[in-house]
Amino acid sequence: MDIRVYRPGELSAADRAAWTALQSKAHLNGSPELANPFLSPEFTLAVGRTRRGVRIAVAYEDGEPAAFFPFQRTTAGVGRAVGLGVSDCQGLVHRPGFAWDAHELLRACGLAVWEFDHLVEGQEPFEAGASGTFPSPVMDVDQGYEVYLSRLRAQSPKFTRTTLAKERKLGRDTGRMRYVHDERDPAALRTLMAWKSAQYRRTGRSDRFAHPWINQLVHQLFHTRSEPFAGILSVLYADDRPVAAHFGLRTERVLACWFPAYDPEFSKYSPGLILHLRMAEAAAADGIAYLDLGRGQKEYKDSLKTRELSVSEGWVTRRHPVAFGHRARRAPVRALRNAVLSRPELFEPADRILKRMGKIRSRG
């Protein structure tokens, strides 16, 4: 392979256009998962403005770009997926039929190891290093919102009936309801981030927005507009007061759900669920094929989904002492986390402890 590695600012306009074109044609070429916004050049370039070590490997065939592999690396040669920890889709974006050797790619990138936790399906050279595969639920709206809603009524009749009833009650109790699919007011984004930070603390989780680079990344993506990528802030208002909001990323055919939150004062109405239904309706009208809810077992995802994709986590390694050391440090942590998440008898007590700790911290 003719592989060249670029810093984000070195990538030519022609290569960026070729990358976007590969994503735009992905659904026609039988690889719709490659159209995910987290695999877009805009996401990689935004991470590159907030984190060090971001690089893009471009593989050329007959002088034309055939594949794009974004990654982050340290000076020691430890590689990670771009935005690892906040990215919900990772891998190599390529033209149909493109074949690559994972070890050759790592060598060209100067990597001893490449770590991923949301590897997209169909990346066989990388999948050999996967240590686990996990469901990533989606909401299919390619046939229109009414078809989606009818499927939801068939598979989750009580959930659908209850959620729609709560929406009507919220409207009656608060007066006028309003949904904005693409809200451009930065104040609404700040409100969402404050809700989400409070939710993280309340449930004993690490507050992602306590990390300046994640704050900067979200604000950058909120202001990013290209064809067909955009950061989308969706807000549900009741009597002109925001009660639920979500910030995600979209391409031509995929809306990646990312940061949803709501005002706890309105929790009895399940405003987050109402918001997701309105997002599905607006996304369908925009020509979106599906909403990707992201990896993670959550009750609301199970209720809203129509099917599941699969994502993997693991490491691709070369025979190198840095690779062995990195994997030896990271593997036990990942194994313990996944064991807790996959077993209710372990997860539920751990979840209760985290929430109890969150309440103690909030009181302090």
DSSP 160-195: HHHHHHHHHHHHHHHS-EEEESS---HHHHHHHHHH
Q: Are 251 and 271 in contact (CB under 8 A)?
A: no
Q: Encode pLDDT of 339-352 as tens digits.
A: 555 555 544 554 45
For all residues of the chain together, what is the average pLDDT? Answer: 91
Question: Percent of the chain scored above 90 by pLDDT?
Answer: 82
Instruction: Give me the residue label for tokens 């974004």.
Output: 70
With CA atoms as reference, report the closest residue to 303 among 166, 199, 144, 161: 161
pTM above the 0.85 mark? Answer: yes
Q: Encode pLDDT of 190-238 as tens digits.
A: 999 999 999 999 988 899 999 999 999 999 999 999 989 999 999 999 9
The token pair at 198 is 């409070």
8 or 358, greater pLDDT: 8
CA 182/CA 249 separation, integer angstroms: 11
DSSP designation for 48: H
Residue 122 confidence class, pLDDT cut points 50, 70, 90 = very high
Instruction: Give me the residue label for tokens 């592999």.
Output: 69
Q: Encode pLDDT of 169-193 as tens digits.
A: 999 999 889 999 999 999 999 999 9
With CA atoms as reference, report the closest residue to 335 among 117, 64, 106: 117
Q: Is the pLDDT of residue 101 over 70?
A: yes
Q: Which helix (H) or strand (E) holds 2?
A: strand 2-6
Burial 342-360 (b: 16+ CB within 10 A, else e): eeeeeeeeebeeeeeebee
135-145 average pLDDT score: 97
For helices 145-155 and 271-285, the axis angle rounded to 10 degrees is 140
| Residue 75 confidence (pLDDT) | 87
- φ, ψ of residue 69 to 5 degrees: the values are -125, 95
Question: Percent of the chain scored above 70 by pLDDT?
Answer: 88
Residue 354 confidence class, pLDDT cut points 50, 70, 90 = very low
297-304 average pLDDT score: 93
Amino acid making up residue 8: P
| Residue 326 confidence (pLDDT) | 59
334 or 168, greater pLDDT: 168
Residues 6+ apart with CB under 8 A from 21: none
CA 176/CA 133 separation, integer angstroms: 44
Residue 364 confidence class, pLDDT cut points 50, 70, 90 = very low
Q: Is the pLDDT of residue 355 over 50?
A: no
Upper half-sphere CA count for residue 127 (Cβ side, 13 Å)? 9
Q: Encode pLDDT of 37-92 as tens digits.
A: 999 999 999 999 999 999 999 999 999 999 999 999 998 889 999 999 999 999 99
Residue 320 confidence class, pLDDT cut points 50, 70, 90 = low
Instruction: Give me the residue label for tokens 């060598």.
Output: 107
